[in-house]
Amino acid sequence: MQEWANQLCENRQFGSKMTDSKYFTTTKKGEIFELKAELNSDKKEKKKEAVKKVIASMTVGKDVSALFPDVVNCMQTDNLELKKLVYLYLMNYAKSQPDMAIMAVNTFVKDCEDPNPLIRALAVRTMGCIRVDKITEYLCEPLRKCLKDEDPYVRKTAAVCVAKLHDINAQLVEDQGFLDTLKDLISDSNPMVVANAVAALSEIAESHPNSNLMDLNPQTINKLLTALNECTEWGQIFILDCLANYTPRDDRESQSICERVTPRLSHANSAVVLSAVKVLMKFMEMLPKDLDYYGTLLKKLAPPLVTLLSAEPELQYVALRNINLIVQRRPEILKHEMKVFFVKYNDPIYVKLEKLDIMIRLASQANIAQVLAELKEYATEVDVDFVRKAVRAIGRCAIKVEQSAERCVSTLLDLIQTKVNYVVQEAIVVIKDIFRKYPNKYESVIATLCENLDSLDEPEARAAMIWIVGEYAERIDNADELLESFLEGFHDESTQVQLQLLTAIVKLFLKKPTETQELVQQVLSLATQDSDNPDLRDRGYIYWRLLSTDPVAAKEVVLAEKPLISEETDLIEPTLLEELICHIGTLASVYHKPPSAFVEGSRGVQHKRLPGSTESGESESPDTASAAAVSDAPPAVIPSQGDLLGDLLNLDLTPPTTAGPPPPASSGMQMGAMDLLGGGLDSLMGDESEPPPIPLRMDTPQSPQLPHQSPSPPDYSPTELGGDLGGSPAIGAGFGAPPAAMPASFSAPVSGGLDDLFDLGGGVGMPMGAYSAPKTVWLPALKAKGLEISGTFARRSGVIQMEMTLTNKAMSVMTDFAIQFNRNSFGLAPAGPLQVLTPLSPNQSIEVTLPLNTVGPVMKMEPLNNLQVAVKNNIDVFYFSCQYPISMLFVEDGKMERQVFLATWKDIPNDSEAQFQIKDCHLSSDAASNKLQGSNIFTIAKRTVDGQDMLYQSMKLTNGIWVLTEMRVQAGNPVYTVSLKCRAAEVSQWVFQSYEAVLKN
């Protein structure tokens, strides 16, 4: 449609009279037949008139496709106006008549060599608009000529045509080398050609984010900045948008670009101004704040933004939405310009509300008196929505500027005295928030609020008033009567009011138990027995049980100190704000959403970041990225809210005051549980509804039999059977039962019997250090209000450690950190509080090591090594999930006696054996054995059969599960075969993953 509009407008230049409306008025029958005759007339004027009639019919929606061949025949003419009209017709009908459209190809090719540059450009523009696959390949040659045409008008038109052709057939454009030609056009002598080449490349790069087409370097940037001064306004926008995607090498280059872009701020076109602001906002990130130029730039940015607010309302709104982002990022730019955001009586409501929002963001101690006077004025306006927002704004100012709180409260009380219903209701909602922010400071106004109780009819206001009465019940003599008055129509109230009323009456009961017993029983029975709402019912039952079982606990829960609220709750999350700043002047900056949220398909999904925040941003250096790739760590499983609620609701997120020390390394007689390979099996396979028993030690009196155990054989005492594997049923079965199948290696003839088989002779050398994976991001900043947590697990000196990096990407300081784990497969739990000793400032990172023990509650997870974690700070509680390598759980006393190994291997059924292959491993058997021993995987024996080394290894998990393995290593063969035997079969694949991780890193 835009092309038609352009073409029709341009036709005016070729002598069209203002009487063209006559072409739209014909209603004759047999019209197509007559037009056909006129199109084939010998008279040029008649032909032109006929084509105009055809275009008029097409414009009003009539189908004139039957005239396609006749119109195409009119292309062979020198008359530019007629040629334009025919091309217009062709663009519209080529898609529905592709076979006919091919007839026009020769004319295009011919017109691309016409001496008149306007005709050459017209031909190439029309070729780009005909979206027919069959034709595109015929158009490559004419397009190539036009891209190198001597006339800049033709070259700039051809540049845009490349982008259109790329949209139809990307492969063809790449094969024909048009992209390289486009890149060359960036160095063109004509600024409009440069602008169009940039626009075309940007369009292509956006639909193919990984193509790296815009290879920006200082030389290219210099050419673009030179062209910037001489372009049309839209050309300037294309170039500025392209500049915004460049990251300067240092602050000097950044300053140089800013200096050359600054003159665009005084442009008459608001789109140019916003594009220039976007470039400057981005490059300012790289300038040191103590630089004189930085201050100068801040001053230069304010006037153009203020000027935008004198445009028509629609433009004002777009400007205000962008200013809202700018003020959140750099409030100092407009801190002295508060007055321009004062509302005018004739502003549309959408402009008023946006100005109101920016006023609050700019409010400070210096200007608060001015702002409050203005807001009080707005609260007496006639527009109800605006008045409500103005009253809310007074409350937000009180919360934001502490020194103004008293003045705000008195202003709100003045408004309540007006007795205007909706003003009173909004004021009460706002005062509730002020009480939350400044407890025990302004409660003297409660009496005034209670006077207006009867006039409240909106759920939010009623809920706020009920909260105030419940929270300050001890200061209100007739609190029980007030709440009882609400209770009379309990079932007619909204859910919000019902929930608030239930909580308020329970608070009242806990403060005045003797006087309100009936009232609390009444509300609990209404909430639990007579209500269909599950939220209300559940809350009622929780309160009921709390009150009936432990009133002290109920008091601690219901009357707990509430976290203070802050003004920052409505700020855009920092990482999203960074991205939106990079999209100033686009639809994203009006919606305040990233393009990926509202643009379908691949376009616009690139996430942009400000350059100064690369260390703290989401991007990672190539080194860390490659390290992450090498580690091949399993992806973190982010649990759904539903998965977490069941267990994380009851987390105590205060740091533990006393925590047991990490369990000492097991000595001779200490075992996980009675069963050699089955201790802790219940924790993996048992009934999950009951918390499984903590693994028992041998010295526990009257050790109970576990479900998966066979009774202990009476014949052998632990000492008789040798050390740390005493009286185990595996041994009993091994010696008393017929031997089970053995590994192939064991059944081979052995010259010196068992002693020879297990003779370590030249065996295993010194162990290396334990392997720990590189850190990965567990909790992205986007999901945790600016807190990013990356980490890994390590085992050092027998203690499992969680090593984390906490990074603050928010704008506020973070303190009061605490951590808690959900129940997990191996009972992992923090062995002490999370030690973050100093507040975490914005853009600061801190390394934290958290020792863990394995005496926490046990529940089988999916996957087995999944750990669900809750981290609390002064902002909120955040949940994430990560996976720990099973090798962290291999204990230091996991080396099994040789005879016991043999007997146990025989005892475990063959169907519990799993076989895996480790590929691309180039270590010798000795080197592999050393590496594994560093992670507590112990080689018990090694033997060589037919040039193949066989390593027999054992390891023991913290919960007493034993794993036995046979690893075959053939010299020169990079594929190792690992056979694993374990009674808890589900452990096998995770043990194998640990083998692979240790050997390959």
pTM of the full structure? 0.57
pLDDT(699) > 70? no
pLDDT(119) > 60? yes
pLDDT tens-digit readout, 438-487 = 887 887 888 888 888 778 888 998 899 999 888 888 888 888 888 888 88
CB atoms within 10 A of CB 524: 21
Pick 683 or 350 by higher pLDDT. Answer: 350
Cβ atoms of residues 742 and 966 within 8 Å: no
Q: Whose structure tokens read 């019919």?
A: 57
pLDDT tens-digit readout, 941-957 = 888 888 888 899 999 99
H or E element in which residue 37 lies: helix 31-39
> Quick one: pLDDT band at residue 20, thresholds 50, 70, 90?
low
| pLDDT value, residue 569 | 59
Distances (CA, A) of 851 to 827, 829, 832, 834: 14, 9, 7, 9
Residues 6+ apart with CB under 8 A from 371: 338, 359, 360, 363, 397
Phi then psi for residue 862, to 5 deg, are -125, 110
pLDDT(18) > 50? no
H or E element in which residue 818 lies: strand 818-821
> Quick one: pLDDT band at residue 19, thresholds 50, 70, 90?
low
Helical spans, DSSP H, in 334-404: 349-362, 368-378, 384-400
The structure tokens listed for 649 are: 């609701």
| pLDDT value, residue 750 | 36
CB atoms within 10 A of CB 927: 14
Helical spans, DSSP H, in 582-617: 587-591
Measured between alpha carbons, how far is 359 from 375 in angstroms, rounded to an integer?
A: 10
Q: What is the DSSP letter of 840?
A: B
CB atoms within 10 A of CB 535: 12
Summarize the confidence of residues 559-587 as an average pLDDT: 82
pLDDT(168) > 90? no
Which of 897, 896, 904, 895 minimizes the C-alpha distance to 732? 904
| pLDDT value, residue 820 | 92
Measured between alpha carbons, how far is 817 from 884 in angstroms, rounded to an integer?
A: 22
- Region of poorest pLDDT, from 517-521, 573-577, 709-713: 709-713
The structure tokens listed for 912 are: 């519990």
The structure tokens listed for 528 are: 């639990």
578-605: b or e for each residue (b if 16 or more CB lie within 10 Å)?
bbbbbbbbbebbbeebbbeeeeeeeebe
Measured between alpha carbons, how far is 461 from 855 in angstroms, rounded to an integer?
A: 49
pLDDT(499) > 90? yes
| pLDDT value, residue 709 | 36
Phi then psi for residue 833, to 5 deg, are -70, 160
> Quick one: pLDDT band at residue 66, thresholds 50, 70, 90?
confident
Measured between alpha carbons, how far is 961 from 445 in angstroms, rounded to an integer?
A: 66
Helical spans, DSSP H, in 248-291: 251-261, 270-284
pLDDT(806) > 90? yes
Provide the β-strand partners of residue 557.
Answer: none
> Quick one: pLDDT band at residue 926, thresholds 50, 70, 90?
confident
Cβ atoms of residues 824 and 861 within 8 Å: yes
Measured between alpha carbons, how far is 205 from 605 in angstroms, rounded to an integer?
A: 11
Which of 874, 866, 862, 835 minimizes the C-alpha distance to 851? 835
Provide the β-strand partners of residue 796.
Answer: 799
| pLDDT value, residue 821 | 92
pLDDT(713) > 60? no
What is the gyration radius of the CA atoms in the chain, in angstroms? 39
Provide the β-strand partners of residue 964.
Answer: 954, 981
Measured between alpha carbons, how far is 85 from 54 in angstroms, rounded to an integer?
A: 9
| pLDDT value, residue 503 | 93
- Helix axes 233-243 and 270-284, enclosed angle (nearest 10): 20
Residues 6+ apart with CB under 8 A from 678: 706, 708, 709, 961, 983, 984
Cβ atoms of residues 337 and 302 within 8 Å: yes
Helix then strand count (H, E) for the chain reads 43, 13
Measured between alpha carbons, how far is 643 from 621 in angstroms, rounded to an integer?
A: 34
The structure tokens listed for 340 are: 């321009």
Q: Mean pLDDT for the chain?
A: 77
Answer left, alpha or beta for residue 972, where phi above 0 means left and psi between -120 and 50 means alpha.
left
